[in-house]
Chains A and B, each alone.
Chain A
């Protein structure tokens, strides 16, 4: 049902509908209203109606706003006021252009007469003036001229008035007064003019017709304004209901979503107007939120699942030790292993936190220009002993600076012939290990290294610590999965689009069907089942690559894996 509570402006307009809606003899609208109020407490404050069923209105996000707080009402009022103001301005102009114009014309005519008659007086004195007045009266087609010439005793000498009107005392002032002319009362506008010798001249116009016109015009304009006012209010309500209907679409969707139905989207009318643009923007936002939520859900499921295992293990160890440990040593051993399990869980948490820290993008403020060459050399240096212990050769392959600077001319081919490729030297000839580049010649002594070609700069913009962690993860994986006797190659080159860091190993690789999922959190391929690790390494690498506006690509190296991080140029 419709609710018509206290809608101050709307009630009179809508009242007929109310009467139609309820048969005569039915309880009054007020009674039904109070029923409606008590029947649904949520809408007890509903102070306006709308054209939607009450049921639908629940989707408007709870209690509808009061009339004065309703944006629709405000818009409608602004519309009404603007319309009324423009109508009033039009009426004022009309008034000025008609009644005002007539007024001004009368005044001008009187002034012209005064001018003409005073000239006649100057030329021919009293007789000429009397003659002229008679002539003018005879020639006055409209029969609206009023003249009266009196001698010093106010005795009429000429003119069409019988006596001097008593209110006219001062010269140079326009009087509007009623006079009796030709036996009939009339409204006249007159001016007194004093002549030498005590004669007085009264010149005026009959404005009876003009007064009638003015009344007519006033009435017409007033009625017009009332009609405009009514139309403004009606228009306001139309504006408001349009406004509400459009917003109801959005707010019903939002309410449904906040109630848990995330599949709802804002309806797009297809007109391509501003509201459609808004709807599309909102829908895009909802899609993105949906994807993020899906991701969060997947991750929390994965966390729950992947942490349950080590937690179960730790718990079992502790409980088993509490129940069955026979000696203190056994007890200590169990506690120690459980502590290790917990450390593993903490490590997983830290990796997860780190990934989400990276994904929020907050680290982007710390970006600087990074030369990747020393970063890669650092990682290679850190892992070289481990690789050697695993029977692997770790090769660092950086373009040497003797070739054309790749960063400056990205088109230059990063050909292998131009790159300085060497095993990570056992005796890296640098004295400042943090920044000194790897020498092209592993045999070069410390003094020769300055003469040798340092690696070319590989500039990008980013966070060096994060890039180092990404490369570290890739190398860590490669060293972990490669069988003894193989080679792990860490290379970097400037390609046409940016810098590419590649880690190539000769391990089992990742089967094509797993490659897409390999960068998901906690994903562990078949080959990785029996190696230690959390399944977060590649997820972190990908997060770092994305943060830097780059990508992580996994390819088959037959045999082995090519993991390539592509980064845009920077510097």
Chain B
């Protein structure tokens, strides 16, 4: 994927760019608002990582507002040291698709950017999700694996749906808290792992191969087990 990183801090910017390249993405970088706006407006990217506070008079929100004013719908992830609820709301209102506060783990950033870029490409509403032999019907709210029906609680259903929509991608615990439980803060204890392990009991355990993989230091991923 082609990703633009607009970040003025050399260390953070370099770290992000190296990481993204390692993950196989094509990365362009701008270290000030003017260049960032120019590149974002004139080239085509799959996603933009935008620092909120930038030198040179044009800050992240200005870039975002300008892009959205030009009907440019490129997915934008805002990076910011401002963690207030209000700041977050402002960022999302300005047209941001996701908001990540500094400091962040790279795995979190990568997972979110990939999810954003993928979401930008999804075509139309889906009624059925399928990964390997696992099928999820959004209309009848039924889950089957290898033709065998699996009974899930509503929340487990939503958790599985989220994982399947992001199949093949890393999904972090924070993303699950936000996407499935609508929690925008981290509980002190890690409650997500227990929910995932319950889901595994139903979706993976009775079957020969596991679909829900744990990605170390990052989160989870739904995909066929590696051989």
Stretch at the interface among A245-253, A425-433, A484-492: A425-433
Stretch at the interface among B40-48, B83-91, B121-129: B83-91
Q: Is A457 an interface residue (CB 8 A)?
A: no
Q: How far is A247 from B185 in the complex, measured between Cα atoms in Å?
A: 50
Q: How far is A430 from B153 in the complex, measured between Cα atoms in Å?
A: 9
With a cutoff of 8 Å between Cβ atoms, the chain A residues found around residue B183 in the complex are 382, 468, 472
Q: Is A21 an interface residue (CB 8 A)?
A: no
What mask results when residues 459 to 477 of chain A are scored 1 for a CB within 8 Å of chain B, else 0?
A: 0000001001100110010
Instruction: Determine if B105 and A343 form an interchain contact, defined as CB atoms under 8 angstroms apart.
Output: yes
Q: Is A20 an interface residue (CB 8 A)?
A: no
Q: How far is A255 from B183 in the complex, measured between Cα atoms in Å?
A: 49
Q: Is A385 an interface residue (CB 8 A)?
A: yes
Q: How far is A311 from B155 in the complex, measured between Cα atoms in Å?
A: 38
Q: How far is A224 from B108 in the complex, measured between Cα atoms in Å?
A: 90
Q: Is A353 an interface residue (CB 8 A)?
A: yes
Q: Is B187 an interface residue (CB 8 A)?
A: yes
Instruction: Determine if B182 and A427 form an interchain contact, defined as CB atoms under 8 angstroms apart.
Output: no
Q: How far is the CB of B34 from chain A (nearest CB, A)?
A: 31
Instruction: Determine if B155 and A476 form an interchain contact, defined as CB atoms under 8 angstroms apart.
Output: no
Instruction: Determine if B187 and A426 form an interchain contact, defined as CB atoms under 8 angstroms apart.
Output: no
Q: Is B149 an interface residue (CB 8 A)?
A: no
With a cutoff of 8 Å between Cβ atoms, the chain A residues found around residue B83 in the complex are 350, 353
Q: Is B184 an interface residue (CB 8 A)?
A: yes
Instruction: Determine if B198 and A385 form an interchain contact, defined as CB atoms under 8 angstroms apart.
Output: yes
Q: How far is A357 from B85 in the complex, measured between Cα atoms in Å?
A: 9
What mask results when residues 71 to 113 of chain B are scored 1 for a CB within 8 Å of chain A, else 0?
A: 0000000000001111000000000000001010100000000
Instruction: Determine if A433 and B185 form an interchain contact, defined as CB atoms under 8 angstroms apart.
Output: no
B-contacting residues, A517-571, CB 8 Å: 532-534, 537
Q: Is B146 an interface residue (CB 8 A)?
A: no
Instruction: Determine if B194 and A385 form an interchain contact, defined as CB atoms under 8 angstroms apart.
Output: yes
Q: Which residue of A lies closest to B154 (CB)?
A: A433
With contacts A426-B153, A431-B154 taken as known, whether A382 is within 8 angstroms of B187 at the C-beta atoms is yes
B-contacting residues, A427-485, CB 8 Å: 427-428, 430-434, 436, 465, 468-469, 472-473, 476, 479-480
Q: How far is the CB of A364 from chain B (nearest CB, A)?
A: 12
Q: How far is the CB of A26 from chain B (nearest CB, A)?
A: 66
Q: How far is A185 from B194 in the complex, measured between Cα atoms in Å?
A: 127
Instruction: Determine if B189 and A433 form an interchain contact, defined as CB atoms under 8 angstroms apart.
Output: no
Q: Is A354 an interface residue (CB 8 A)?
A: yes
Q: How far is A433 from B187 in the complex, measured between Cα atoms in Å?
A: 19
Q: How far is the CB of B1 from chain A (nearest CB, A)?
A: 26
Contact of A533 among B153, B154, B188 (CB under 8 A): B188
Instruction: Determine if B195 and A476 form an interchain contact, defined as CB atoms under 8 angstroms apart.
Output: no
- Main DSSP-derived SS at the B contact region: loop
Q: How far is the CB of A6 from chain B (nearest CB, A)?
A: 51
Q: Is A280 an interface residue (CB 8 A)?
A: no
With a cutoff of 8 Å between Cβ atoms, the chain B residues found around residue A534 in the complex are 188
Instruction: Determine if B103 and A346 form an interchain contact, defined as CB atoms under 8 angstroms apart.
Output: yes
Contact of B154 among A363, A428, A479 (CB under 8 A): A428
With a cutoff of 8 Å between Cβ atoms, the chain A residues found around residue B84 in the complex are 353, 357
Q: Is A383 an interface residue (CB 8 A)?
A: yes
Q: How far is the CB of A507 from chain B (nearest CB, A)?
A: 14
Contact of A472 among B151, B155, B187 (CB under 8 A): B187
Query: Which interface class (under 10, 10 to 19, 20 to 34, 35 or more) fits B?
Result: 20 to 34
Instruction: Determine if A362 and B189 form an interchain contact, defined as CB atoms under 8 angstroms apart.
Output: no
With a cutoff of 8 Å between Cβ atoms, the chain A residues found around residue B153 in the complex are 426-428
Q: Is B205 an interface residue (CB 8 A)?
A: no
With a cutoff of 8 Å between Cβ atoms, the chain A residues found around residue B9 in the complex are none
Q: Which residue of B lies closest to A533 (CB)?
A: B188
B-contacting residues, A5-31, CB 8 Å: none
Q: How far is the CB of B181 from chain A (nearest CB, A)?
A: 6
Instruction: Determine if B154 and A378 form an interchain contact, defined as CB atoms under 8 angstroms apart.
Output: no
Q: How far is the CB of A473 from chain B (nearest CB, A)?
A: 7
With a cutoff of 8 Å between Cβ atoms, the chain A residues found around residue B62 in the complex are none
Instruction: Determine if B141 and A431 form an interchain contact, defined as CB atoms under 8 angstroms apart.
Output: yes
Contact of B191 among A386, A434, A537 (CB under 8 A): A386
With a cutoff of 8 Å between Cβ atoms, the chain B residues found around residue A432 in the complex are 154
Q: Is B133 an interface residue (CB 8 A)?
A: no
Q: Is B186 an interface residue (CB 8 A)?
A: yes
With contacts A354-B185, A468-B183, A480-B189 taken as known, whether A381 is within 8 angstroms of B85 at the C-beta atoms is no
With a cutoff of 8 Å between Cβ atoms, the chain B residues found around residue A532 in the complex are 188
Q: Is B165 an interface residue (CB 8 A)?
A: no
Q: How far is A469 from B182 in the complex, measured between Cα atoms in Å?
A: 12
B-contacting residues, A335-358, CB 8 Å: 336, 342-343, 346-347, 350, 353-354, 357
Instruction: Determine if A465 and B184 form an interchain contact, defined as CB atoms under 8 angstroms apart.
Output: yes
Q: How far is A490 from B74 in the complex, measured between Cα atoms in Å?
A: 44
Instruction: Determine if B191 and A381 form an interchain contact, defined as CB atoms under 8 angstroms apart.
Output: no
Query: Which residue of A385, A469, A473 has the most chain B CB atoms within 10 A of its CB atom?
Result: A385
Q: List 29 A-B contacts (CB under 8 A).
A: A336-B217, A342-B103, A346-B103, A354-B185, A357-B84, A362-B86, A363-B85, A378-B181, A381-B155, A383-B191, A385-B191, A385-B195, A385-B198, A386-B189, A388-B194, A389-B194, A427-B153, A428-B155, A430-B154, A434-B182, A465-B85, A465-B184, A473-B188, A476-B187, A476-B188, A476-B189, A479-B189, A480-B189, A534-B188
Q: Which chain A residues have a beta carbon within 8 Å of chain B's beta carbons?
A: 336, 342-343, 346-347, 350, 353-354, 357, 362-363, 366, 378, 381-383, 385-386, 388-389, 426-428, 430-434, 436, 465, 468-469, 472-473, 476, 479-480, 532-534, 537
Q: Which chain B residues have a beta carbon within 8 Å of chain A's beta carbons?
A: 83-86, 101, 103, 105, 141, 151, 153-155, 158, 181-189, 191, 194-195, 198, 217
Beyond known contacts A357-B85, A386-B189: 5 more, CB 8 A cutoff: A336-B217, A343-B105, A350-B101, A353-B84, A426-B153
> Nearest 9 pairs between A and B by C-beta?
A385-B194, A433-B154, A386-B194, A386-B191, A476-B188, A433-B155, A472-B187, A389-B194, A469-B185
